[in-house]
Amino acid sequence: MENRVLTRLAYRINATLDRYLPEQRLFLKSDTATRFIRLRPATQAIALAGGGLLVAWTFIATSILLMDSISAGSDRDQSLRQQALFEERLTTLSNDRDRRAEEAVNAQDRFNLALAEVSDMQARLLASEDRRKELETGIDVIQNTLRRTIKERDEARAAADKARTALASAGGTHTEAGRARDALATLDIMAGALGNTAKERDEMARVAEAARDETAAITRSKEELELRNDAIFARLEEAVTVSMGPLDKMFRAAGMSPDDLLKQVKRGYSGQGGPLMPFVSTKGTTLSPDEQRANAILQGLDRMNLYRLAAVKSPFANPIPSGNYRFTSGFGYRRDPKGAGTRMHAGLDFAGSYGTAIRATADGVVVHAGWSNGYGRMVKIRHDFGLETLYGHMSQIRVSVGQRVSRGDRIGDMGNSGRSTGTHLHYEVHVGGRPVNPMTFIKAASDVF
């Protein structure tokens, strides 16, 4: 019964399709017999439908491949343009940083020269002040001596007048007249001495006045020098402030405490030069305002130097500096294709050509170089300040455990090893053993450098 129903349904289908696809016969002739294959309308319809689906699938697959090729070319051009803009901006910022550093060095030289001039002028001013005080003391002594001499002269003249009056009234003797003449001679000598003393007093007064004029000129020069020093200090303070802001912001954006970072750099500092020494009073007195400002500037320059050392030892770089890549996956949680929940993607994925060079992003020591479950061929580098970087899915590893590498050294090639769906680099940054977003370091470095 069931076979009869199926046969009847097949007959109706073939009868309906026969108007559009009449039955065809394919004859096969051999030496002994002739055979044929019957192509019913339903069979022809199935063959046509299959061919149409095959053509449609071929058309759609070709379109997808063409769209991917066009999109890949557009992304590559955009990446090259971004790389050119990034390199141009990096060159501009590097030149500006060099100019700032040169200005700071020149300003420090001018500041040292100005301090030397101020010290010399202060010594000259103190010497002039001591000389003026000595002259004033000498003038006071001469004036007191002159007053005393004038008083004695007046008393001697009064005594001489009394003696003349007594001689005139009493007629006097030759002895008293001789005494009177001796007194007059003494008075003449004292008058001459008083005249010389008056001339010396006038000369000392002129010298004192000249000393006052020289002191006033030195004071004016000192004030002008202080104004110039203040302008130099202002420019240095501005330069230090402008240079410090982006560096401080860069480390904070990377999730690192600048104060703790600088303490670690100071503890492990072993380079040449060392921190700049502040001014210290050799007399045990309080530092002047200019010296205090100079100390603040030197501390700022020292902080900038420590920041420079910390930036060199931190992964503020791109693991694929050539720019021949595109981002395919970011940092954060994403849905697990094998499960219903989500899982943490602890790094960045850079897709590129097979064998693309992978570079170390900071100085450090290789602590792992080999196969790791999930990561495939993987390299892990330990840096200073509790930082680590991880590079996964490589096709080839070019370093070994214990090897010390520098920023920019080639550590491996991009590949597709481990749990991977295509050629790419999986890059992670760990701070204190905790994964953080590597894009924070890459973007922070691009904004500053």
For the stretch 9-64, pLDDT in tens is 777 777 777 777 777 777 777 777 777 777 777 787 888 888 888 899 998 988 88
Number of domains in the chain: 2
Domain boundary among 82, 117, 136: 82
Q: How crowded is residue 290: how many other Cβ atoms within 10 Å of its Cβ?
A: 17
**Dihedral angle sign, alpha carbons of residues 26, 28, 33, 38:** negative
pLDDT value for 103: 80
Helix (H) or strand (E) holding 396: strand 387-397
Residues of the chain with pLDDT under 50: 172-174, 270-277, 279-282
Q: Is there a domain that residue 184 lies in?
A: no
pLDDT value for 168: 65
pLDDT value for 38: 73
Q: Is there a domain that residue 88 lies in?
A: no
Q: Is there a domain that residue 110 lies in?
A: no
Would the pTM count as exceeding 0.85? no
pLDDT value for 355: 92
Q: What residues contact 420, with CB distance under 8 A and at least 6 apart?
A: 376, 393, 426
Q: Is there a domain that residue 100 lies in?
A: no
Domain boundary among 26, 55, 82: 82
Tracing tokens 């004030």 back to the chain, one arrives at 223
Q: Which of 330, 363, 366 is nearest to 349 (CA)?
A: 330
pLDDT value for 273: 44
| Residue 398, domain CATH | 2.70.70.10
Q: Is there a domain that residue 337 lies in?
A: yes
pLDDT value for 180: 62
- Domain hosting 35: range is 1-82
Domain boundary among 82, 110, 138: 82
Q: Is there a domain that residue 133 lies in?
A: no
Buried b (16+ CB within 10 A) or exposed e, 153-173: beebeeebeebeeeeeeeebe
Q: How crowded is residue 46: how many other Cβ atoms within 10 Å of its Cβ?
A: 11
Q: Is there a domain that residue 359 lies in?
A: yes
Amino acid 261 reads L
In whole angstroms, what is the distance from residue 415 CA to residue 391 CA?
Answer: 11
pLDDT value for 183: 65
Q: Is there a domain that residue 265 lies in?
A: no
